[in-house]
Amino acid sequence: MTVTIDAHELKAQLASDDPPVLLDVRWALGDSEGREHYRDAHIPGAVFVDLDNELASHGEPSDGRHPLPEISDLQNAARSWGIGSGSRVVAYDNTGNLAAARAWWLLRWGGLTDVTLLDGGLTSWTAAGFETASGDEIPAPGDVELTPGHLPTLTADEIASYSGTLLDARAPERYSGETEPIDPKAGHIPGAINAPTAANLDADGRFLSADALRERFDSAGADVAVYCGSGVTAAHQIAALAIAGVDAALYPGSWSQWSNQPNRPVATGVSPR
């Protein structure tokens, strides 16, 4: 599976007779100005994607903060971004693809196969000396048809009885329960191993090499599931695992769902148990 492309390859694709649909998923926890950041500067031709409203649905707290969108809503959004049945898609952000990976994962889950991430995001584009644009881009509507379930997911009940390797992609201090700034309980799912998403990247915000990622996930085994705070950065972990040659399932509800369900056990400290 090809997960990433570099800025020079993207530049060539955009200049071709069959350019990809380019998605700017500018989002970060605690920063609600993603659309303004996009309007200030984005890769020419990129369409802004609203993660909170287009890459997630909204329900009860017990559903988590970013439940998966209904497939019909995702399809309508994808069409509004200009995605057609035969489109290639490239997604990026300006935070090492921690947000853009959510679009990458969802579109693959919905059945698209040619979806990649711009390695290094917007920073890699500007570092290569390529120009940016400002304002909004309004593409012609696409006609893509999506169906759910092309990538594996697990429910909270399935996670509770899961026998494979469960990776917690959050920062160590949230995993251990030292701090919890968002969700109602601190700690982690019993048995989960902490593997912070930030360690997938080098100092320039690019994914580590396939060899380095294989070494990072060497002990994970073949049966792997991932969660994070709300199912966003866990998609980045799944992308890193894919680069390493490991297919992994997503627990979409993640800690925001688990910690909002009173009957779910919680572990603290640096040990999985």
Q: Which of 47, 228, 242, 244 is catalytic?
A: 228
Nearest residue to 63 (alpha-carbon basis) of 168, 156, 150 = 156
**267 contacts 252 by C-beta, under 8 angstroms:** no
Nearest residue to 110 (alpha-carbon basis) of 65, 86, 145, 80 = 145
Q: Which residues are registered as beta bridge partners of 168?
A: 194, 227
In angstroms, rounded to a whole number, what is the distance separating the alpha carbons of residues 64 and 251?
A: 11
Question: Residue 228 catalytic?
Answer: yes
In angstroms, rounded to a whole number, what is the distance separating the alpha carbons of residues 177 and 259?
A: 12
Please count the CA atoms within 13 angstroms of the CA of 224 that sit on its side-chain side: 26
In angstroms, rounded to a whole number, what is the distance separating the alpha carbons of residues 273 and 271?
A: 5
Task: Indicate the residue type of 176.
Answer: S
**Which residues does the annotation mark as catalytic?**
228
